[in-house]
Structure 1
Amino acid sequence: MGSIGSILVMIGVVILPISTGDGALRVTRLMIADCFKLSQEQLSRRLMIAIPLFAAAIAVSSMDYAIIWQYFGWANQLLASATLWAVSIYLRSKNRCFWPAAAPAAFLSLVVFQYLFSSPEMCGFSEEASLVSSALLTAVIGVLCLFRGSGLEKAEEPSL
């Protein structure tokens, strides 16, 4: 592909991953600082968060990526199920039909918990024990999310 192909390879293989990693570490640092209400104006305060974060990133980058992708996939599905539960709670608080969000939330929660309980990297339960544990935990979450007061009735509508 010549010189244009070399430029595209450099952009795709070197520049884009570096800028993505830089952005991810910066956002993570700012989220941690915001969570703990730490000012980021002084360099020493930035380094107080950045150095342990860089150490964690280096440790993770030295791991086997097949295992990292398993955890990433599991965490991604967990986030999706939590989002569906949150949508279900919101719809229920507005007296709207919440089942179109709650049904997939329950199914996805069951799948995520089944992996959590049965995977040898996680809990390592037997198939029967993990299925029972997953079903019970999903039922508890469903009852807590859908049939318990959410407190959203008193909340103000966000203005867009």
Structure 2
Amino acid sequence: MEMPFKCANEITAMAASCFPLARAAATGIEQDVLELVVPEAKRDAKALLAILRRGAIFEKGVLAMLHELVGVLDAQILEGTYVETFYDHSPENASNESSWSKERLTPEADRLANAVAVLFELYATLAAVHDILSAEKALEGLRSAA
């Protein structure tokens, strides 16, 4: 199995890449999420926004806050998703199908989907950094015990 990184510099670069992602996620929360999120989740979104603006992205609980907000937004996006069906009964239609469907998002759900994309990328990158650090800590414990 090939490892996703080759040296400590790459791990540092991965951790450093979390900061611009956090700024982008904060902007997404500020511009799209706070206005559109259900009232119960607005307080949590504001708390996460404050953490991201401070750059305290490696604090304990940030991953859980991101996970929770993405879950709330996913549910709202699902509510704002509808299926549009198109029909073509014309004699020029050469296909065997006379109708087809396409999923559409309301404008609000589309804005939330854009924010979720950045939040999810931040979550995935932060989780990877935490996993690598946990693995390094476990290895240090094994080495000291050997």
Q: TM-score, normalised by structure 2?
A: 0.31
Bigger strand fraction: 2
Bigger helix fraction: 1
Which structure exhibits the higher relative contact order, with contacts defined as CA atoms closer than 8 Å and separated by 6 or more residues?
2
